[in-house]
Amino acid sequence: MLTAIKLGKRVKTGESELTILDDVSFQLSKGKSLAIIGESGSGKTTLLGLLAGLDSPSSGEVQLNGQSIFSLSEEQRAESRKENLGFVFQSFQLIEGLTALENVMMPLELKGDRKAKQKATEMLTKVGLGERLNHYANQLSGGEQQRVAIARAFVTEPALLLADEPTGNLDTATGKKIIELMFSLNQELNTTLVLVTHDIHLAELCDESITLSGGKVIESSVQMEQGAVANG
């Protein structure tokens, strides 16, 4: 279960303070999907960074499976990401110079998994790239690169998958296929999915959604359990 409790992020700009995110709370059950919608500059990416523990909040906290991630040390947080999180990015973020297979093997190898190659091959086959294992990133189309990124994100069977505009760099048809793939893996592996998007149609595919504007939640389908807020 993923819980955000009164999350806030403020940065100092000279004399004044700029609020990027203000008092965001929600709770998402395991296996569910959540879309974070909003205009540019509404605080979507900041919220995603906080949920992943990549950035520290000015206030509030994030709990993953009941564990407050900001009470952990930097190293413990990194360890938690390794065990629990997967990422899919708008710009794919494949490692240049490595093949599709090597890219997918990377997070497994970092975990010391001895079956990295086998698991990566299976996952790439599952996303339809069984024939392109040894192709480099620049030899793949945008859609294929995003498939590799999805395979890399799911191969460790993370509890939580965070996706930042996963179809932002793709045409509509390819984007649709990617989303289908992501949701099918989400269901198959019972992964909790948080998705940042501009696309209202994509948001509608998710179980839940919240809409941000100026760093504040202006619309939300997710309910916050009273107990969780009180504890926060």
Partner 1 sequence: MANKAALLPVAWRIFKRDWRRKDLLILLFSMVVAMASISVIYLVIDRIESATEREVADVLGADVVILSPREIDSKWLQIADDLNLVKATSVEFASVLFANEKLQLSTIKAVSDGYPLRGRLEISDEPYQETRNLNTNPPQGTLWLEPRLFSVLELEKGNLVEVGYTDLQVDGAIMLQPGQGSTLFNIAPTAIINIDDLEATKIIQPGSRVNFRYLFTGESEALSEFIEQVKPQLASSQRVLTIFDESPVAGSAITRSKKYIGLSSLLTLILLGVAIAMSAGRYARRQFDMSALMRCFGLSNKQVLTIFSYILVFVCVFGILFGGLVGIVFQEFLITFLSQWITAELPKADYSVLLIPTAATAVLLMGFSIPSLVQVKNVPPMRVLRRQLEPMSVGTLSIYLLSAATLVLIMWVQMQDFKLLASVLLGLVFVAIIFACIARFMLWLLKRGAITRSAAVNFSLRQLDANKGITLLHLLAFSITIFVIALMILVRTELLGKWQQSLGENIPNHFMVNVKPNEVTEIKSFFNANQLEVVELYPMIRGRIVGINGEDVKTAVPAEGQSHNSLRRELNITWSTELPEGNDMVSGEWGWPENPSEPLISIEEETAIALGLDVGDSIDFTIGSESWSAKIASVRSIDWQTFTPNFYIIANPGALEQFSATYISSFRMEKSDKDLLAQLVKKYPSITVIELDRIFEEVQSIIAKVSAAVELIMTFVVAAGLALLWAAMEHTFDNKYKQSAILRTLGATKPFIARSFRFEYLWLALLSSSMAVVAVELITYLLYRFIFEIEFEFHFQLWALLPASTLLLMLIASWNGVRRVTSPSPMSLIRPS
197 binds partner 1 (CB under 8 A): no
Q: CA 5 → CA 45, 53, 62, 225, distances in Å? A: 17, 14, 6, 10
- Please report how close the Cβ of residue 52 comes to partner 1 at its closest, in angstroms: 7
- Please report how close the Cβ of residue 16 comes to partner 1 at its closest, in angstroms: 21
Closest CA to 86 of 28, 160, 190, 149: 160
Please identify, among the stretches 29-37, 57-65, 108-116, 198-206, the one whose residues bind partner 1 according to the rule CB under 8 A: 108-116
106 binds partner 1 (CB under 8 A): yes
For residues 95 and 229, which CB has a smaller minimum distance to partner 1 in the complex? 95
56: Cβ contacts below 8 Å, ≥ 6 apart:
50, 70
Dihedral through CA 122, CA 128, CA 132, CA 138, nearest 10?
Answer: -120
Sole binder of partner 1 in the list 3, 33, 121, 145 (CB under 8 A): 145
189: Cβ contacts below 8 Å, ≥ 6 apart:
154, 157
For residues 15 and 96, which CB has a smaller minimum distance to partner 1 in the complex? 96
121 binds partner 1 (CB under 8 A): no
92 binds partner 1 (CB under 8 A): yes
Please identify, among the stretches 5-13, 34-42, 80-88, 207-215, the one whose residues bind partner 1 according to the rule CB under 8 A: 80-88
220 binds partner 1 (CB under 8 A): no
**# of chain residues touching partner 1 (CB under 8 A):** 38
Closest CA to 124 of 142, 109, 91, 102: 102
d(CA 14, CA 116): 48
State the DSSP string of 134-174: T-BGGGS-HHHHHHHHHHHHHTT--SEEEEESTTTTS-HHH
For residues 49 and 214, which CB has a smaller minimum distance to partner 1 in the complex? 49
Binding site for partner 1 (CB under 8 A): 45, 48-49, 52, 54-55, 74-75, 78-83, 85, 87, 89, 91-98, 102, 106-107, 109-112, 137-138, 142, 145, 164, 169
